Amino acid sequence: METPASPTRLGILLSGRGSNFLAIAQSIRENRLPNVEIAVVISNVAEAPGIASARALGLPTAIHISKGRPRAEHDADMLASLRSHEVDLVILAGYLRLLSPEFIGAFPNRILNIHPSLLPAFPGLEAQHQAFIYGVKFAGCTVHFVDEHLDHGTIILQRVVPVLDTDDGYTLGDRILAEEHIAYSEAIARVASGVYEIQGRRYLKRA
């Protein structure tokens, strides 16, 4: 009999609400993310609602306050935490702080981020509002690998959200968020399966 592959262990990093983290946790509970488990949820903000949700779910948590600390020093603590929890894949779920090159280098193409726009359009903060004000007809979200540039690494998948005449930045943002909650689990499942290759900037499913 074949031994089942050991589960992919996620380290979730968040700073706020944590709705993407909760959607991932729900996918795992409902067996839509086979052979994936959450090893630890880490926040750089002590009062982040997402960390309270993680505790309520009985998941291992850690807080590493970033405010006022040099980035490299703070990231070294987070790396130690991730390693002690034997994390394979780092998931940025509303983690509002840039990562140091050392941190990114420690997990090459093993850090995922979700961004609420169709990258490369509208990188940075408040992307949903940027898209609305610009007047695009299609917005959406992107899950990508993290590299040393902001909102830039190889794109794993995108989901498109049409912009309605009746929208404002908030209604559009809500519909994008609903798509984010689907997209992130799907992207994690793909990466955890290992059945892909990266050619240049392109992520390709392997047959």
Give contact residues for ligand GRF (rule: CB under 6 A).
14, 16-20, 50, 93-94, 114-116, 177, 180
Q: Which residue is nearest to ligand GRF (CB)?
A: 94
Listed residue (18, 71, 67) closest to 177, CA to CA:
18
Q: How far is the CB of 110 from ligand GRF (least distance, A)?
A: 18
The answer to whether residues 112 and 146 touch, using CB atoms and an 8 Å cutoff, is yes
Which CB atom, from 11 or from 50, has the smaller least distance to ligand GRF?
50
> What type of residue sits at position 78?
M
Catalytic residue numbers?
Answer: 115
Tokens at 14, concatenated: 């968040």
Pick 107 or 173: Cβ nearer ligand GRF: 173
- List the structure tokens of 34: 């086979």
Based on CB atoms, which residue is closest to ligand GRF, 76 or 189? 189
Cα 112 from Cα 103, distance rounded (Å): 13
- In terms of Cβ atoms closer than 10 Å to its own Cβ (0-12, 13-18, 19+), residue 117 is buried
Tell me how far, at minimum, the Cβ of 187 lies from ligand GRF, in Å: 12
Closest to ligand GRF by CB, 17 vs 110, is 17
In angstroms, give the least distance from the CB of 203 to ligand GRF. Answer: 18
Dist CA 100 CA 112 (whole Å): 15
- Minimum Å gap between C-beta 141 and ligand GRF is 6
